Structure 1
């Protein structure tokens, strides 16, 4: 588990951490350069050479793996004095960060690691601690010292601090620490139990449940768009890299950080509200990457459906609620009462089935369809079990969640 706290370093500590970020960025780029040079030296054909450039690296030189580049750091400090100012394990985790990205690229086939520009490296990691570094309202970090911390919630008993990541926001004017805590507790897998609901996500209504409840979508970016536009215009008129330009950029970054914080708060409150309503939640497995590239990309990015689903899954796990994503294809084009295909354009917001006469809001019908697909896609052996997180709860019968027409009868009611 991760706990995030706001910290308030003094001017000297803030300058030190900014220097560490810049040094870590340079170490990352240097290690990536070695990796790319080794790969490019193996691309040339055996019987010819490139006319533009040639990487002269002997054939017996091994691949620059994580352990090799990490072991080169002590030797590199002899010619690079700035590395001595940075905590050694911070530099090691920077190399680890590069090779984790390299392994992820090899696994998925795209996303080759890129060089980091100035200001793009925004965090560094302390990988281990013997004792709890938080003492009262201060956190003690190696080679940085004690920093004031907003200790908003205490670490639970039985948990130990494993690592601390220092995060910079708003162009280095706001600092946070992400404390990773761990406890030797075995948590069983959560199974289907209790009351089940389906969720449909949309732009008219942020979330609509299968029982008819819905949550309006706050337009976080649009409500601050005029102010953001004004700040960006002022920043564009300043001389680039000047002191006034930097001040204007800080104001823009702080407004973006404020919008992000409001969106995150709304996501978590909505997730907890949904967990209060049911013990089993099914949601659409949306292609959020495609939505963020479509015609309504600005609205979809402002809503951040992908971030909400990830946070909802985390809140469900923490509260012992079963969560599963289902196939979203055709949920709004299928009648949840009789199963007939009812095609309708995006602008038509009412679902009316000509087969059975069932009528309701489009999003509500889609949420009911999500619930039906979720209930029928759960393995039989995973139904009706209790979990340690949820405690003793009544187990709902799965068949009661399926529309009556799916069980052999027809429903002609209207809503």
Structure 2
């Protein structure tokens, strides 16, 4: 089964824009209410039944079940009968909001993520079901919205069925993300003959085993002076006033432009790398730790995690390239020719000089060659020509 997401900008009428804003506000209230209900239940169970807490007492009866998704979805049906605002919102949209909260609690328990927080604003809502004939020429039919005009920048995929769509509010307007699905099963790509090792680093964005060193543009620095100027002006405006809202929109547009520029560059670079070899090998790195280190500003500006964990694997799969993550430990300490430890101690040492065999090459290129060799050993390939040329 294959899923593709297509994003288009939508041109809503004034009535549709008001309805979309109503949906976002209603989803926010339902999310926050359901989160408060779960927090109250958990807080009331912090101490034992036979003792009293110094901070809170049982304010919820002991026989009240935990407010999970099924419990809250059942109560939501009763709330919609009494609330005129919730009656105007599609029931499945509100149910998807409760599912989002339920997934947040699952991620907290299973993947050790943080406790869910209350939302000041919602940026999107989801229609989980679409009719088969919901697509037209530069338009889409949404439940309770009717036909909505879209700017169709590319044709819809043939042989795919629209399954669901998400309405997203950005600084530049509303967008629709349509999920297309096909029952055709595509096998995972098999490894080929040519390989490419990629080393991620901070001094430059990445280096390849073929000797390419790619420097990332400073996406945020190009607009940082404008953003700082607007933020200084925003400090002197009355919060919530029209001038305050205008400046907020200008700042949001600049941040959106930075995001779009970065994402476009990432996709172009991923296609460039996938054209070089049939096998793509990278390091298995925790990029979240990079975002908390001394190089956090540069790491977050480059968005290394987005590129290496999302975009590059997707482009490799799309173009039929074999993609694999290998062990990162001591990749910069090992010599790609004799495989002895070189004992580098400082990050400022940017040149690989092996004291055992005398091999000299850029440090990042040497690491990428080690990554390529580890990947080839993992899939059972012999040393490729680039690795053999080291001897």
Q: Same fold (TM over 0.5)?
A: yes
Residue 193 (structure 1) aligns with: 192
The CA deviation string for residues 172-203 of structure 1, in whole angstroms up to 9 with x for no partner, is x4111111110011111222113111001223
Is 1:398 aligned to residue 382 of structure 2? yes
Which deviates more, 304-313 or 49-58?
49-58
8 Å CA contact 2:373–2:383 kept in 1: the answer is no
Residue 6 (structure 1) aligns with: 9
Residue 292 (structure 2) aligns with: 293
User: Equivalences for 1:117-136 in 2 at 5 Å?
Assistant: 117=120, 119=121, 121-136=122-137
Distance in 2 between residues matched to 1:48 and 1:293, nearest whole Å: 41
Distance in 2 between residues matched to 1:332 and 1:61, nearest whole Å: 57
Distance in 2 between residues matched to 1:122 and 1:36, nearest whole Å: 23
| CA deviation after TM superposition for structure 1 residue 402, in Å | 8.2
Is 1:321 aligned to residue 289 of structure 2? no
Choose from 46, 62, 77 the match for 2:65: 62
Secondary structure of the corresponding residue to residue 244 of structure 1 = helix
Distance in 1 between residues matched to 2:219 and 2:270, nearest whole Å: 17
Distance in 1 between residues matched to 2:278 and 2:387, nearest whole Å: 19
8 Å CA contact 1:137–1:148 kept in 2: the answer is yes
| CA deviation after TM superposition for structure 1 residue 206, in Å | 1.7
Aligned length: 386
TM-score (norm 1): 0.89
Distance in 2 between residues matched to 1:353 and 1:296, nearest whole Å: 27
Distance in 2 between residues matched to 1:52 and 1:294, nearest whole Å: 37
| CA deviation after TM superposition for structure 1 residue 346, in Å | 1.4
Residue 207 (structure 1) aligns with: 206
Secondary structure of the corresponding residue to residue 398 of structure 1 = coil
Distance in 2 between residues matched to 1:235 and 1:89, nearest whole Å: 38
Secondary structure of the corresponding residue to residue 162 of structure 2 = strand
Residue 264 (structure 2) aligns with: 265
Distance in 2 between residues matched to 1:248 and 1:132, nearest whole Å: 41
Is 1:116 aligned to residue 100 of structure 2? no
Distance in 1 between residues matched to 2:85 and 2:259, nearest whole Å: 34
8 Å CA contact 2:210–2:386 kept in 1: the answer is no
Residue 166 (structure 1) aligns with: 167
Distance in 2 between residues matched to 1:109 and 1:150, nearest whole Å: 40
8 Å CA contact 1:200–1:367 kept in 2: the answer is yes
Choose from 75, 82, 93 the match for 1:90: 93
Is 1:22 aligned to residue 25 of structure 2? yes
Distance in 2 between residues matched to 1:87 and 1:139, nearest whole Å: 17
Please, what is the CA RMSD of the aligned residues? Answer: 1.7
Which deviates more, 318-327 or 304-313?
318-327
Residues 78/156 of structure 1: CA separation in 2 closer, same or farther (3 Å cut): closer
Residue 76 (structure 2) aligns with: 73
| CA deviation after TM superposition for structure 1 residue 403, in Å | 4.0
| CA deviation after TM superposition for structure 1 residue 40, in Å | 2.2
The CA deviation string for residues 87-131 of structure 1, in whole angstroms up to 9 with x for no partner, is 1110111111111111222212342222112x2x11100001122
Residue 356 (structure 1) aligns with: 357
8 Å CA contact 1:231–1:252 kept in 2: the answer is yes
Secondary structure of the corresponding residue to residue 156 of structure 2 = coil
8 Å CA contact 2:209–2:386 kept in 1: the answer is no
Secondary structure of the corresponding residue to residue 50 of structure 1 = coil
| CA deviation after TM superposition for structure 1 residue 237, in Å | 2.0
User: Equivalences for 1:326-345 in 2 at 5 Å?
Assistant: 326-344=326-344, 345=346
- Give unpaired runs (5+ residues) of structure 1: 381-396
Residue 103 (structure 1) aligns with: 106
| CA deviation after TM superposition for structure 1 residue 58, in Å | 2.3
